[in-house]
Structure 1
Amino acid sequence: MGKVSLCTSFSLLVLYFTSLSAAAVESTAFQKSANVGTLQNARNRMRRDLSSSQTSTEKIECNSCGSNPMPTVARNYTARSCVDHMEHGASHCGHYVIDDGQESYVVFCDINTEIGFAYTLIESFTLKHNSFFKTKGLIVNWPINENSPNWNMYRLSHGRMSRIRDHSTYWRATCNFPSVGIDYHDYVRARITDVDPIKETLSGTCKKVEYINLRGHLGLQTTVPFWNNNVYWHMTTDSGSTKCAFKPNRGAVNGEDNWGFYHIVNSKFRCTATANSTTQYWMGDYIRGNTKIKSAQCKNCDKVY
């Protein structure tokens, strides 16, 4: 893999950090998050990220998700994750306050792009900001703007990710979510019990995923090679590798990186199509609290659909 030696792409308006440390980047984030003002600020920032790319002939919808996140404040219950908000009746994507048992803060929840599922955004970045994420595996504590959810440069602390993980069954990785939403192209989903992106050190290790689509190559209940460590690799796979059951090498660039690291990229992969393409990591689960909803909307929650 050469490891040793976002429909359309869109443009995002943020400060372009060229040589800041993670601590310096984090200093630009909001320091207090569990209030309406911060929710509004986070909402406005994510909408600015997207509106900068829209033209008179291009309108991005995305189920009122990435393009139009709605702020929500929990008033009569405590939510440990986006799943809890969904179980209490939330039905729109947007900004929600969660209390993970140690602290309260704002996160971005995707509640309505996958029927019956709720996901919490734990990381998002553009390809042009890859240098800040490239060598930082998800097992590393590397918070960036963690109190200000955005699509450009965002990552929760490892502690926050771990506590969200404790209330999740699945993780997924997506490309260009704000403009594309979820159409299951250039998308991967796995159970945390099969591969844990924030706890496992991986070096080309074959791990089971429930569903993967990579440049049109489809795999169901298959194994994929992953790399993830604390010194060199962000969580990633290599679509040129043939060592595991899933073999998307046709059309791959030699050593091509997917969903992270991005030492070698392929413009045919959504996450790396342009400098403004984005990569997202999420953790979540299907709704358990309402059996009627679960049976009606999520008949095959344990299966790929």
Structure 2
Amino acid sequence: LPVLTLFWIGVVRRTNEYGLTEPRVYLVVCGGLMTLCVLLFLSQRTGRYLWVCLAAWVSFAALAYVSFLEPERIAVQSQTQRAERVAERLGRLGGDGRLLLTPMPLADTVYKKEYRKLYESLDYIRRDSAAFARFGVKDLDDLAAIFPEAMRDYVRWGYDWSCVDTCVDTNIIELEAPVNVRFEVNAEYPHYYTNLRNWYNDHSYDVSNDTLRLFLGEECAVYRISCRDLLERQLERSGFDPAEACEPAPEQLLRLLDYRDDRCRILFENIKLERTDSAVVIQGMAINAVLMR
């Protein structure tokens, strides 16, 4: 019962904040069946599978065959009510129920989250042309045109793409091989493997649990090394100190991407490092080629 209570609190909060959608209608129905199941089986006398099956059959039959209970219709009505509430709070709803499409003052940018909610609801309502037409908007581009350019991407997509070039995480270090880079290859490692991919069931290589495993077409790993040991070796070999500099020198970069030991040599396309509170760790990597003895 406590878990069931938490479930309904979550459902009510989600639907109140974002309105109903078609999947959420089914969520409510399945949650109702689950609640019925729990209540029925609290008593051994009333707990019968027949009642549960009958309730499920009636519920889904009603959703399928009763027109005003169609999930899509219920969802559109919910999103319409949500859009009207948000538009009224923003002062964008006219007396005839149509949206006011006057350009938005820069002072209103503090309400960008509310405008995002309005855009989301209208985007959902578009599947019902009659309901969408009530707002007096021919296309969502008409609504997007009223926003300042700096805010338009957030309202449309929920993300400010202008931050992509300006927001830099200083704790991430990208080690990327230069274009057309050439590593010196000799006969010291006679077996050469390329076109390696870190895909499921590809049998090339795998990085998991802080360990790099090379399969090279075999079912079992033919070579493995701890990512921590690999990083320590490469930092020592290159002389690069990630605590002091964000980017290595060109010579250091080539050494960092060229791993060698007594058994194999690994040429990396890239290595992504992350500074944590305690150490620098490898967050990801891509391998260009492997040479084995």
Please tell me the TM-score bracket, short chain as reference: under 0.3
Structure with max Cα Rg:
2
- Structure with bigger helix share is 2
By relative contact order (CA 8 Å, sep 6+), the higher-ranking structure is: 1
TM-score of the aligned structures, taking structure 1 as reference length: 0.20
- Structure with bigger strand share is 1
